[in-house]
Structure 1
Amino acid sequence: MSASARRLRELHAQPPLVLPNAWDAGSARAIAAAGAQAIATTSAGVAWAHGVDDAGGLDLATAVATVRAVCAAVEVPVTADVEAGYGDVARTVREVVEAGAVGVNLEDSTARVLDDPLVHAERIRAARAVGGGDLVINARTDTYLYGDRTGTIERAKIYADAGADVLFVPGVVDLPTIAELVKESPLPLNVMVGPGAPSVRELAEAGVVRISVGPAITGAAYALATAAATELLTHGTYVTLTSH
């Protein structure tokens, strides 16, 4: 096991693991400089950075190139968001691991539609076969985003049996539900946070092991760029820039 892979597993064993999500090498450097112990990429942020839509706009070559650039820019472990595997999970995982990633995030929806859990289980098995025991597989289920929430734990059991290490449930932010998921899930829980979500401390007390922000930081960065450019072009002033 590489030192980076070992470190990522150690961080999961010493929760909470807080993962600010990067979308390119520059954002990864900034996040590492802020003190992040590991970095996750965000497929939505990477897509936006390349001027394409998050739902199906990103291709494998671009995703892998971004992972390679991020891994080269920082010394902390990197886990890669590879969406649903870009049609060939084995190839995708092989390429991002060769690029330097020691973890992957695999989601169980395609074009914002939930896939059959058995289909996703096969993706997880393919990722495990390529990545071996070193790779940290974060199995994302989109039941709270696009489907029936009552199936979340059943999916978690299927994904655990397939070899996943962590269950990622974006879209859930209320503490009672999170605590129930922690209690019932056979896998450690990852949640996605942002404005209005419980604090890291509250989530840790509820038993959450992994906390990420998805594209929230990317979105905030682009919102600042839009606001600053609008002020500059409309009023010829720079207040937006001086306030950050």
Structure 2
Amino acid sequence: MTTHDKAAALAALYGSSTILRLVNVWDAVSARTVAALPETTAIATAGHSIAASHGFADGAMPFELVITSLAEIVAATELPVTADLDDGYADPGETVRRAIGVGAVGANVEDRLRPIDESVDRVRQIVAAARSEGVDFQLNARTDAIARGGDRPLEQSIADAIERGRAYLAEGAAAVFVPGILDREATERLVAGLGVGVLSVIGIPGALTAAEYEQLGVTRISYGPLPQRVALRALRDLASELYADGVIPSDTPALN
């Protein structure tokens, strides 16, 4: 598929009444492994996991390495790839142009609770840059209204998320990502405030299932750094078994 075809495919997935399930990847081999599953319709990168795989803290990886890593993942699959681009870096428009240049057709970009006018302007820059590239780029605009809400009441954080999310959608974002543990009531309030089919959530311990979120009108669920943590736990556990005179399981698939 061309970049335009991939962008159209990702747009259709966001527009579907079926929730888009994305198991986040961090390198070429994890991307190929997930992409090989028949249920996989798109690939999402996990910025935290990519940074960790290169020895950096989340958000601290050099930008050029971010783009290089993204290019390697895009090259590993024919599926649409949506990238975790942290906060968009110094110039969010240029960041998205670079991402499109290596084949990404969507992205998460977080607001980090900047003043709302500044956050809206950064979304505007992203959308304008994508349009200038002629790509129907699917921006999953992330608001940290809950994740960085601190001690303020949850009701206030939800109201902030709705205000910011509406503003991002008005500027052309495809969806609004509200990370945090969202129970049924919080999810219903966010969907009521933002609309059906635009809320994006993260599947972390304590969250609802993908099917439950789908019933509530959520458009997308992803899992952030959790898939890599599960993989690393498996590696750690295997290493412990091997140090204890264990053996490699005979049914180990040659996924690499």
**TM norm structure 2:** 0.87
Structure 2, gaps ≥5 residues long? none
Structure 1, gaps ≥5 residues long? none
Query: 1:145 aligns to what SS in structure 2?
Result: coil
Identity, % of aligned pairs? 36
Report which of the two has the higher share of helix.
1
From 153, 167, 181, the equivalent of 1:172 is 181
Q: Distance in 2 between matches of 1:226 and 1:142?
A: 32
Q: Determine if contact 2:107/2:139 at 8 Å carries over to the other structure.
A: yes
2:225 matched to 1:215?
Answer: yes
Query: 2:201 aligns to what SS in structure 1?
Result: strand
Shift of 1:242: 7.5
Aligned partner of 1:139 in structure 2 is 141
Q: Determine if contact 1:231/1:240 at 8 Å carries over to the other structure.
A: no
Q: Determine if contact 1:107/1:140 at 8 Å carries over to the other structure.
A: yes
Query: 1:202 aligns to what SS in structure 2?
Result: helix
Shift of 1:195: 3.4
Give the alignment of 1:1-244 within 5 angstroms.
2-14=4-16, 15-35=18-38, 36-54=40-58, 56-109=59-112, 114-132=113-131, 134-147=136-149, 148=152, 149=157, 150-186=159-195, 188-233=198-243, 235-238=244-247
Aligned-CA RMSD value: 2.1
| Number of matched pairs | 238
Q: Determine if contact 2:31/2:43 at 8 Å carries over to the other structure.
A: yes
Q: Determine if contact 1:45/1:218 at 8 Å carries over to the other structure.
A: yes
Query: 1:195 aligns to what SS in structure 2?
Result: coil
Judging changes above 3 Å, is the alpha-carbon distance between structure 1 residues 37 and 180 closer, same or farther for their aligned structure 2 residues?
Answer: same
Structure 1 moving runs of 4+ over 6 Å = 239-244
Q: Determine if contact 1:173/1:198 at 8 Å carries over to the other structure.
A: yes
**TM norm structure 1:** 0.91
Q: Distance in 2 between matches of 1:67 and 1:27?
A: 12
Query: 1:84 aligns to what SS in structure 2?
Result: coil
